[in-house]
Amino acid sequence: MNTAELLVRCLENEGVQYVFGLPGEENLHVLEAIKHSSIQFITTRHEQGAAFMADVYGRLTGKAGVCLSTLGPGATNLMTGVADANLDGAPLVAITGQVGTDRMHIESHQYLDLVAMFAPVTKWNKQIVRPSITPEVVRKAFKVAQSEKPGAVHIDLPENIAAMPVEGKPLHKDNIEKTFASFASLRSAAAIISQAVNPIILVGNGAIRDQASDAVTQFATQLNIPVANTFMGKGVIPYTHPLALWAVGLQQRDFITCGFDNTDLVIAIGYDLIEFSPKKWNPDGQIPIVHIAATPAEIDSSYIPSVEVVGDISDSLYEILKVADRQGKPNPYAINLRSNIRADYELYAKDDGFPIKPQKIIYDLRQVMGPEDIVISDVGAHKMWIARHYHCYSPNTCIISNGFAAMGIAIPGAVAAKLVHPNRKVVAATGDGGFMMNCQELETALRVGTAFVTLIFNDGGYGLIEWKQENQFGKGRSSFVHFGNPDFVKLAESMGLKGYRVEDATELVPILKEALAQDVPAVIDCPVDYRENIRFTQKVGELNCVL
């Protein structure tokens, strides 16, 4: 057995099903070992696509997704997806090939110090310098990647080490035991919550990672406290729940902002500050906060909790419920706020304008998708509208990157989503800018049999940047954001996919239904009216937070 074979045995021991990546000269021994293993290697068309697939796989399963590249340019191509997983809290293990240790001390073809390069975008990384340490390196990599808060790790394997003979076996996997909050913190939290007149719950992705959806819903229901979720906390509480105030996280005022303006306590449950800066909702640091999470609070001058309840989130919430004494109905302001949010959402149900307003595209998408179906959002103007208007019944049914927020994630992410949940409908929602960054992975999708729909919000430009430019400098003051596009239908057809073009607002729903019924990936070119961006800015700028 050589080191590469031992490495792959260790991956099998960790329960790895897929490795996403590209073949290269320096990872030949690893590829040969995978060929003779139980692991399926998914050959992608770009290393960034491989990393995004591992990223979304990790986020959906809680188990580290694995991506593989060769050295040099292959490794640098991985970095965006690796960084995305790290800042989004998705467990990922990246493995890179490397030159032999006999030529690292000199200027050498394609050689970069990958350990130094990946250090800033990972929780931990290490080069395997001796064959015998392989089981320890792999076991630690997975343990670190999957421990709260999850993230990315990196293993660098020089080609001469990969080929060396070795004796060894994978290490036994230890179970990560739950930790529980102290009685003192639970009592303090219960007392503060019981005294609050108009509290609001802010729930984030940490509650999804900790599988605390049922506990959050029971906690909010029993104590009559309204709930707002971050972009990455969608579905923790069903959006149909009468206390659900839907998503918070836009970088400008919105209806939900009024909820924070009028609260006397924020109960932050599994809230990651990277998702939505507390300076946006607590700029002066005056709102009292109860922090309930698996890890201590990050340091931020606008996020200084009155009490930190650190431990298993579900257990903490159930324990607080035993002693919290909060009676009565939720504040009428919150009920009125939900009515306004719901009315704004329904306003676009019958809109027949063309190009189609983003609110209408997302409304129609929600009508077609089932409660457990999955939308993977790319990054751009459409992401803001998906965050605001695509609502979820359950966790991990709308995947939004809002830590690193990298464009190009949707299509490779949809490949991973379909591998994890082959019986669910999956839609990659992307702008035309993001589509062109990783559309080559549609060939990967076809080859590996992952039939999903790519819905393109087509505006011929970088719509989110144009929106920000016009907010900053005035309407009509955008620059350097427009580009041309190929014929997306013909592009899809040239790859053996189904292609559709929406030419009237009434066509979107039937096209979506037909595309989702295909046994090959499908692409829908949907013109979008992003004049709604500035209209929205003007509307919320005039928002008056009164009952």
User: Is the Cβ–Cβ distance between 119 and 125 less than 8 Å?
Assistant: yes
Judging by DSSP bridges, how do beta strands 398-400 and 426-431 pair with one another? unpaired
How many whole angstroms separate alpha carbon 57 and alpha carbon 146?
A: 12
How many whole angstroms separate alpha carbon 321 and alpha carbon 319?
A: 5
CA-wise closest residue to 82 among 484, 545, 409 = 409
Q: Which phi and psi angles does 116 have, rounded to 5°?
A: -65, -40
Stated as kind and residue range, the H or E segment containing 75 is helix 72-88
In what side-by-side order are the strands of the sheet with 498-501? 398-400, 374-377, 426-431, 453-458, 522-527, 498-501
Q: Which phi and psi angles does 265 have, rounded to 5°?
A: -165, 130
Distances (CA, A) of 148 to 179, 206, 239, 337: 11, 9, 26, 34
Stated as kind and residue range, the H or E segment containing 429 is strand 426-431
Residue 328, pLDDT score: 61
User: Is the Cβ–Cβ distance between 345 and 244 less than 8 Å?
Assistant: no
- Count of other CB atoms within 10 angstroms of residue 537: 17
Contacts of 398 (CB under 8 A, 6+ apart): 234, 235, 374, 375, 377, 386, 390, 392
User: Is the Cβ–Cβ distance between 10 and 134 less than 8 Å?
Assistant: yes
pLDDT tens per residue across span 344-368: 999 999 999 999 999 999 999 999 9
pLDDT tens per residue across span 169-185: 999 988 878 899 999 99
Tally the residues of the chain.
547
Stated as kind and residue range, the H or E segment containing 511 is helix 508-516
How many whole angstroms separate alpha carbon 474 and alpha carbon 211?
A: 44
Residue type, 457: F
Q: Could you list the mean pLDDT of each consecutive 10-residue stretch along the chain, which spans 547 residues? A: 98 98 96 98 98 98 98 97 98 97 87 96 98 98 97 98 97 88 98 94 97 97 95 97 92 82 94 94 96 97 98 98 81 80 92 97 98 98 96 97 96 98 98 98 98 98 93 88 97 98 98 98 98 88 67
CA-wise closest residue to 8 among 169, 173, 175, 161 = 169
Q: Which phi and psi angles does 171 have, rounded to 5°?
A: -85, 150
H helical segments located in 296-453: 313-323, 332-346, 358-368, 381-389, 410-420, 432-438, 441-448
498-507 long-range Cβ contacts below 8 angstroms, 24+ apart: 498/522, 498/523, 499/523, 499/525, 500/524, 500/525, 501/525, 502/356, 502/526, 502/527, 503/354, 504/354, 505/351, 505/352, 505/353, 505/354, 505/356, 505/360, 506/352
Handedness of CA 284, 288, 294, 295 (dihedral sign): positive
Q: Is the pTM of this model over 0.85?
A: yes
Q: To 10 degrees, what angle do helices 313-323 and 183-195 make?
A: 60
461-466 long-range Cβ contacts below 8 angstroms, 24+ apart: 461/432, 461/433, 462/380, 462/431, 462/433, 463/380, 463/381, 463/382, 463/431, 463/433, 463/528, 463/530, 463/533, 464/379, 464/380, 464/381, 464/383, 464/384, 464/431, 466/381, 466/530, 466/533
Residue 146, pLDDT score: 97
Q: In the chain, what is the straight-line distance between the N-terminal and C-terminal CA atoms, in Å?
A: 72
Residue 329, pLDDT score: 64
How many whole angstroms separate alpha carbon 469 and alpha carbon 480?
A: 10
